[in-house]
Amino acid sequence: MKSRLNHLPNGLRVATREMPHATTVSIGVWVNAGARDETVKEQGIAHMLEHMAFKGTKRRDAKTIATEVENVGGFMNAHTSREETAYYLRLLPEHIDLGIDILTDILTESTLPDVELERERGVIIQEIGQSLDTPDDLVFDLFAKACYDNHNLGRSILGTVESVSNFQRTDLSGFMNRFYGAGQMFVVASGAIRHDDIVSRIEASLGFLSDAETAKRLLPAWSAGRQIITRDLEQSHIVFGLPTKAATANDRFALMTLSTLYGGGMSSRLFQQVREQRGLCYSIFSFASLYSDSGVFSVYAGTSASQVNEMLIVAAEELASIAQSVHPNEVTRAKAQLRASLLMSRESVSNCGDALARQIMLFGAPQDDAMLLAAIDDVDGDAVRDMAAHLISGNRPALACVGPPTKIIDNHD
């Protein structure tokens, strides 16, 4: 399986991954604009626009869009992140023309009808309320603010009740006109497709698109803040972390190996020490949130209020211990998990499409699987130790907590 990329004359990129064993197709349009590209008054507008894209065009109303896709057994969805918005479908190969037509329609002919805007405004306000009522969702939004304070990366993707309540049709069309153009968008298809055929079809349907404004992003400063909300809950939900490098950094594979070794599975140090040996929590894991210009290495845990500080101390001690020494078997096991995860993901047309889209977004071109596997293989114990040492050298952690009242130890305690 090989990924290919073409640039159309108008600047629109078309990337594909042909999968001979596949019997379905995943196709989508990715926009290089998300929540971090909003102005203060636009908080949540990228997410609302994602919702509104399916609510009516000059040729289809919202029900027709949904019905046409499901009439052929297809699946349609979208998502908004801090740096991207994506619209995608999964279909049988014989319905690829329908999929391309609907994507073209919702992204170039959306009418953003007022009645649907009011209805979806209410839906999103309910979504914000649900997030506020769900501690293991809320804590991640609080953590983003703890990391970046008032920078765009510190805001909720959903926006606020106030901002969402004030959006007008012209606000949504303004954001779309600013960023939804050929230079900021690309099409990704994977599965039972042929590259040249997809390129030809996309040029016929989207070759007329004009260019768009390139997102101008301000480099975030690390805030090392604390965001704590007291709730009458059985558990404290905690996320804490440290700044790391961007998603394009050469040593990102050492970071991935570290995260897997430290908190990526049942054999990881966090799981073994915090849960199995001490019984301090049911769920604990580490993860990296990497952006085009920055990143965060983090840990989530749910534990009782009385055990929060012991859990934090053990987690910190384990990361410091990795900075001193790692056993070769740990590194080998973590790399095996990463290799297997990558190869298993390549069996899914949707996962292949998502991975290819992220590669185009970050690197401008597909990344060869053999190269990725070789980069994982090249990671050794020294690289993992160096990465852990880099994380803990000189930066105070950011922390967020939702749960019962408790005095959480200071960053330097």
Q: Is 50 a catalytic residue?
A: yes
Residue 26 Cα distances to 100, 233, 363, angstroms:
11, 41, 21
CA–CA gap between residue 58 and residue 43 (Å, rounded): 27
DSSP strand pairing (13-18 vs 185-191): parallel
**From 18, 50, 83, 116, active-site residue:** 50
CA–CA gap between residue 44 and residue 159 (Å, rounded): 4
CA–CA gap between residue 388 and residue 315 (Å, rounded): 13
Q: Which residues pair with 3 in a beta bridge?
A: 17
CA–CA gap between residue 340 and residue 40 (Å, rounded): 42
CA–CA gap between residue 315 and residue 313 (Å, rounded): 5
Burial class (CB in 10 A: 0-12, 13-18, 19+), 199: buried
Looking at the annotation, which residues are catalytic?
50
